Amino acid sequence: MAVKLLFFAGSKREASLNKRLAKAASLKAAEFDAEVTFIDLKDFDMPIYCGDLEKEKGIPEAALRLAELVKSHDGVFIASPEYNSSISPLLKNTLDWVSRIRSDETPPRTPWQEAKTFAIGASSMGLMGGLRGIQLLSALLINGYQVNVLPQTVAVGKGHEVLVEDGSLSSPQAEAMLSGAMKAFVETASKLKSA
């Protein structure tokens, strides 16, 4: 049975380089026989998290839908835009809302914890390719959301030149980095799925 992997970017922007990266990563993972799902967070609109809002109205329907998607996959790839050396408010809000959904287990688990493997990446127009932001995202996912994050990250500098709209990469170095990371992602998710 093929491993199922979910891909998205922490951006709603139509021309987002990170959407292109998430799409390219999904196509590359499919080459390693993964069953891939690419989603756009613009289809999962959620208000800014507030405890009072949660108490009054409950978990937003979009967060519940996303949680079900996450739980039905063996791993998640996030392409994270870098905002002032950090992650986007959209991504943090999405992570927070979904983390509010808990299982009945003891201790309770979030949907993020049920997706056993995370891989992360970023792209930007600069040379560093969003590297500072994904370092923070890795620490946040591990420490804040208590999930497993692969050490192989993907940082694509000059993404406007490298990431082609059809999902290919014009740089052999970036292509090799993405290929290596997705191979490790598929292999690790497959092992943890059967563990």
pLDDT one-digit tens code per residue, 21-68: 999 999 999 999 999 999 999 999 999 999 999 999 999 999 999 999
Task: Please give the average per-residue pLDDT across 4-23, as a whole number.
Answer: 95
Residue 153: is its pLDDT beyond 90?
A: yes
Determine the pLDDT at residue 192: 87
- CATH code for residues 4-194: 3.40.50.360
Determine the pLDDT at residue 128: 79
DSSP summary character for residue 120: E
**CA 147 to the chain's CA centroid:** 12
Residue 167: is its pLDDT beyond 90?
A: no
156 versus 193: the higher-pLDDT residue is 156
Residue 123: is its pLDDT beyond 90?
A: yes
Cβ burial of 8 (10 Å; 0-12, 13-18, 19+) is buried
Residue 100 CB partners (closer than 8 Å, separation 6+): 49, 54, 59, 63, 110
pLDDT (tens digit, 9 = 90+) per residue, 18-27? 999 999 999 9
Spatial distance between the Cα atoms of 1 and 141, rounded to a whole number of angstroms:
27
Task: Please give the average per-residue pLDDT across 82-108, as a whole number.
Answer: 91
Residue 195: is its pLDDT beyond 80?
A: no
Confidence of residue 108 (pLDDT cuts 50, 70, 90): confident
User: Which helix or strand (DSSP H or E) is residue 35 part of?
Assistant: strand 35-38
Residue 194: is its pLDDT beyond 80?
A: no
Task: Please give the average per-residue pLDDT across 118-139, as a whole number.
Answer: 91
Angle at the Cα of 12 (from 60 to 99), degrees rounded to 5?
35
